[in-house]
Chains A and B, each alone.
Chain A
Amino acid sequence: KQEVTQIPAALSVPEGENLVLNCSFTDSAIYNLQWFRQDPGKGLTSLLLIQSSQREQTSGRLNASLDKSSGRSTLYIAASQPGDSATYLCAVPSGNTPLVFGKGTRLSVIA
């Protein structure tokens, strides 16, 4: 059974700092991985989707990498802003289950 772990569970950084969020998964036989953002009381918004044939994907200040062999993905946020404060979740497919989610990293960017 696929298990997804995100470390740290919470992170607080000053504005402008570059930061890395980590995601690990137990079954490396995945065909892609997704990163989501969730604001308090809201639904999830997809940030990046990395196919298994890709090593990384970029969108603006966000860069996600994928290392299938080690079962790891990282989400890099450059020059963090208070508006980046949210919970970030990663998710991977597992067998016939479309997505298995990690519990997320709650990020606070302090102005």
Chain B
Amino acid sequence: NAGVTQTPKFQVLKTGQSMTLQCAQDMNHNSMYWYRQDPGMGLRLIYYSASEGTTDKGEVPNGYNVSRLNKREFSLRLESAAPSQTSVYFCASSDLSLDRGILETQYFGPGTRLLVL
């Protein structure tokens, strides 16, 4: 099992450009998440998908959109990149079910390092 995979690993964008970060998991998890990690700010949740077909905003959703393409894949899109979006982006998955209120272990991908000039 590959676990959680993310592409690309590195990306440099110019202000105003758009891009999509891809995430896939092969653990048959219901829930998937996108985080960003910044020095001094820690990990912050951008969006999550508790189950296929649903998405919800996290702590810092502005400037991002997400798509839960199917149970395996959850993509994050920056429509018009800004320097403030320079960060390391992590995707994660788990068997979390908000309905049941049960949190299972979250498994993280290796991250995408994004630099916006």
Contact = CB atoms under 8 A, between A and B. Distances in A.
Task: State yes or no: do A and B come from one complex.
Answer: yes
B66 to A, nearest CB: 14
Interface string B65-109: 000000000000000000000000010101010100111111111
Given A43-B4, A98-B96, A102-B42, 19 more contacts: A31-B101, A31-B102, A34-B103, A34-B105, A42-B110, A43-B90, A43-B108, A43-B109, A43-B111, A44-B108, A46-B105, A49-B104, A49-B105, A93-B103, A97-B59, A98-B48, A99-B45, A100-B59, A101-B43
Contacts, number: 61
* Interface of A: prevailing SS: strand
Interface of B: 4, 31, 33, 40-45, 48, 56, 58-59, 90, 92, 94, 96, 98, 101-111
Nearest to B94: A98
Interface of A: 31-32, 34, 36, 41-46, 49, 89, 91, 93, 96-104
B103 A31 contact: yes
B31 A43 contact: no
